[in-house]
Amino acid sequence: MMKNIFTICVLALFFIGCEDDDNINPSGLIENTVDISGNWQVASVTQNNIDITNQFDFQSLGLTFKNSGDTPSTFTKTGTSNIPFPFSMTDGAFSFDDLVYPTKLNFSGSEDITMELAELPLVSKGKDFKLRVTLGCSDNIYVYSFKKK
């Protein structure tokens, strides 16, 4: 009797083990890098959650990002230099802290600046993104909202 139960269990495992594997779409498992290449313009700026967009000519400030293949490469800053912004350089290199799930945007050129992304996740080919920075005093938090031109 015990031998018959063992034989039945072995045969059942044999047939269960022969099931076809589910078909997996290999391209469905690929994680793409974030791409923000293109021209961006400041849409609004807040200081400690207070809108200060109309205090300066923020809309004249723009950033152009370029990629080298799938990798972030260079940026160019356009606009007036008399508005508060975390850096004075007009061009240089940029990168993310993580190419797939970035939380920070790094700028390098005549100076190195890292800014936090104010909203996550950063959507590749999206129409807007926000940078959170402190200018001078850590009690003053600025959020720059950019819109794609």
Q: E-assigned strands of 81-140?
A: 91-96, 104-108, 112-117, 128-134
pLDDT at 25: 64
Pair 36, 65: CB distance under 8 Å: yes
- Per-residue pLDDT of 96-117, as tens digits, reads 999 999 999 999 998 999 999 9
Question: Is the model more confident about 143 or about 15?
Answer: 143
CA atoms within 13 Å, Cβ hemisphere of 102: 26
Per-residue pLDDT at 14 exceeds 70: no
- Give how many domains the chain has, as a whole number: 1
Question: Is the model more confident about 96 or about 59?
Answer: 96
User: The domain that contains 78 carries what CATH number?
Assistant: 2.40.128.540
Inside any domain, residue 21: no
Inside any domain, residue 107: yes
Concatenated DSSP letters of 1-22: -HHHHHHHHHHHHHHHHTSPPP
Q: Which two tokens stand for residue 16?
A: 């269960």
Task: Give the structural domain span for 128.
Answer: 34-148
Q: Return the ∠ at Cα 115 (arms to 117 and 53), rounded to 5°.
A: 75
Parallel, antiparallel or unpaired: strands 62-68 and 38-47:
antiparallel
Inside any domain, residue 74: yes
pTM over 0.75: yes
Inside any domain, residue 67: yes
- Across 4-15, average pLDDT: 64
pLDDT at 93: 97
3-state secondary structure of 90: coil
